[in-house]
A and B are shown apart, each in its own frame.
Chain A
């Protein structure tokens, strides 16, 4: 006897045996009766009658053996099977619910995946990366800087909060030389970087602490897997070969693991270089011995049981001891420790406002979907009143009915969730490529992965919605008045019947309103950002980035090159003006701020007197149409032979000299040189679109040589032609000069707007989805009401009402609901104003146009949704309606 049959014997009634036992009983009973004188037939019949219901007895016997939980499971399985069959009979309902779930769950799964990629698993290939903590310093003025190398070492060696502390710094590096040179994102890292992150090498080795001993002595590099595959065609002998980075030859010692993309969220780091090589690679401000030179962001995992606040306190104490012993001149630097999601570098901080808004919108769409589903379930329940009545009459408990209805909904939840995930799977690549396009030529990487966590999330949400929002309608549906139903009295009576339905419509309208207002506000924001006055005009300007050092030019040759370039371009046909600049507006960075001393101004203790600065050529203001407030701008004559000059912007001038004109002739010290202010320039947006006015100074290129400059060329005609022209000019001067990029100036502005655009697109999608769902819900419910009222309509029409008056009645009902919903939505939108304003730019959260527009769409939608069934109702023949009831 096998184990299976042994098990079966213990878990089940032995059916054959039992039947035989029953037969034996009947035989004995019959034979006794025959012994008393009955004939065979009568005896048999009487025995059977006396026994009772064999089926019931068998069932009872079976039940003895069935373990309770198995029975429960059986029950549910039966219900589920019945649910599927009954759903198959009303495919429209099933498909609608699945469609509703697909849309709302798809959206939420998308948002969740994005959220996961930024905050839950921010670094690909690094396990538990969300638990990393990051250190940075902050000046009195709120500028966030990296920690200097000596300070990092001290903190690394003396802290007790971190298991290990590594340091890294994101940098752009020039890869290769000559015409094929390109710019890449890379990281300057300490020796323990790979160890702390737990990243291994696929080939060769990673960087080690032995690569962090002395400056310039470690000309090695680790390539990212992507770079190795793309540039070196996965060359298996890559280890030992040399590559040229910033014109230095570095030996490749390894290729990083394929899953790793660097330690800065959203950036694709392609080379990893020992921090000791920074000075020799030409990173000018990277001084490994100077406490005042910001170097790296220390990061690491905290020891178990130690929280960020504890670590922050310890670091602050350590910082005290360092500061007391160190050189003065620190503009009130304090040390901060934050969890990874609040790191000052990386996309997660930029995305935070948008993420918060999206995370709020997702559940809202879900709410609409839930109201939709609740409405559908309610309507369906009412349509099945007859069936439910019969069940109740046969002895089913209300609990059982509710369970059946809820199970029907759950059966839909699973496919709904899965199709939602599929939708997300289609949407995410679209979004990512859109983001890539926005950010080009920067190489971005998002650790977006639709894994089991997302699927589990989707299924969980779907089941939750369906359970919560299908439950109450199911409850309602189970409460059936048997008498009325059996009398086929189908018309609803009393206001209470419609109240739940009305509430659902109102809820959907209100939430859609909220979503549309948000979408409207963000679209306007985007528009405002695009049109905003940044202080310059980049249209009709071509930008071209040149790094002459890449072609082995020293300073003398470089100066000659730039002069010649400007001269040549100026004579070009259709060229209005040309200039050079080191940095582009909107993309400057706090860490590049330079300390500036102002003659006659005594700085307060620990005051942060570092300002953004730009090195520009002659005609800069003219080329970018920047306002000149006072004085003049740089000209050809401002070269090394002339007196040192500078320009300052309006904010700077007002801060130190009250008015722009008073600034002229004053002196400021930049670096070691005292310069005279000869011009005051209008303010620009330097680092971000929504920054507050800040000071900025300009120094002339030919008095402060830089090898890396961006050519700005303004001319007539299509900008793409200007770009080609610019390239031609450079190539004419030196065919081997690498051009790092050449594109219309306005395209450089795309980057800062990436996240705003991204948010706007997503919110728009949310708004539209919400409206579609609400429209569907409204239509369904109004159509149902109409159907229920056919009798009423018939009576009205028979009594002389015109078709149009019938239509008007229903439209009026619909509009009333829309109005209430819209008002609630407006109230909600006001409340959400504060949350929204973090994403908005140039638009107040109470902008009338957005509210009016949203209200219009919402009311219009409800109007249409009410009109269609109403019009159909008006076409009813009164006689038919009365007969049909």
Chain B
């Protein structure tokens, strides 16, 4: 994931926020384990976004700490042990907040990149 910013801290924040949003979005569709979340992000974005495990798992820890997701060990379809994450009610609220902020951001950037034509 590459998002540019001038300050390294800001870059990390942007990264964290966006990744959190993506994970929550995916979990909105149902509980998943870490490996699957990574796969889904890759597949859904047509291989554009490739999250490293080194970023994903800390992100999941972050979301757990903030109580936006809960976790539980369970079995996959292939009967393998995995830790499944479920979005919590607070997580759902946070997702809404993140999504609206993202929309604002996109809108703002869009206005600059593609200005509204004069009538």
Contact = CB atoms under 8 A, between A and B. Distances in A.
Interface of A: 13, 17-18, 20-22, 24-25, 27-29, 31, 50-53, 56-57, 60-61, 63-65
Q: Which among A31, A51, A63 has the greatest number of chain B C-beta atoms within 10 A? A: A51
Interface of B: 33-35, 52-55, 57-58, 61-62, 65, 76, 78, 80-83
Interface SS of A by simple majority:
helix
5 contacts: A24-B82, A50-B53, A57-B54, A64-B65, A65-B65
A451 B10 CA distance: 50
A18 B35 CA distance: 13
A61 B57 contact: yes
B62 A64 contact: yes
Residue of A20, A51, A64, A65 with most partner-chain B CB within 10 A = A64
Nearest to B39: A32
A61 B80 contact: no
A64 B35 contact: no
Given A24-B33, A28-B35, A28-B82, A65 B61 contact: yes
B53 A25 contact: yes
Q: Is the interface of B mostly helix, strand, loop or mixed?
A: helix
B82 A52 contact: no
Contact of B80 (A27, A51, A60): A27
A18 B57 contact: yes
Contacts, number: 60
Given A51-B53, A52-B52, A52-B53, A25 B35 contact: yes
Given A18-B57, A21-B82, A57-B58, 6 more contacts: A25-B34, A25-B35, A50-B53, A57-B54, A60-B57, A64-B62
A24 B80 contact: yes
Nearest to A56: B54
A64 B52 CA distance: 17
A-B pairs, 4 with minimum CB distance: A60-B58, A57-B54, A64-B61, A51-B53
Contact of B53 (A27, A57, A64): A57
Nearest to B34: A25
Contacts of B76: 28
Contacts of B55: 60
Contacts of A65: 61, 65
A43 to B, nearest CB: 14
A553 B80 CA distance: 117
A31 B78 CA distance: 9
Nearest to B59: A64
Given A64-B61, A64-B62, A28 B54 contact: no
A13 B61 contact: yes
A38 B78 CA distance: 18
B47 to A, nearest CB: 14
Contacts of A64: 58, 61-62, 65
A24 B52 contact: no
A22 B34 CA distance: 9
A51 B54 CA distance: 7
Contacts of A57: 53-54, 57-58
Contacts of B81: 24, 27
A22 B57 contact: yes
A51 B76 CA distance: 19
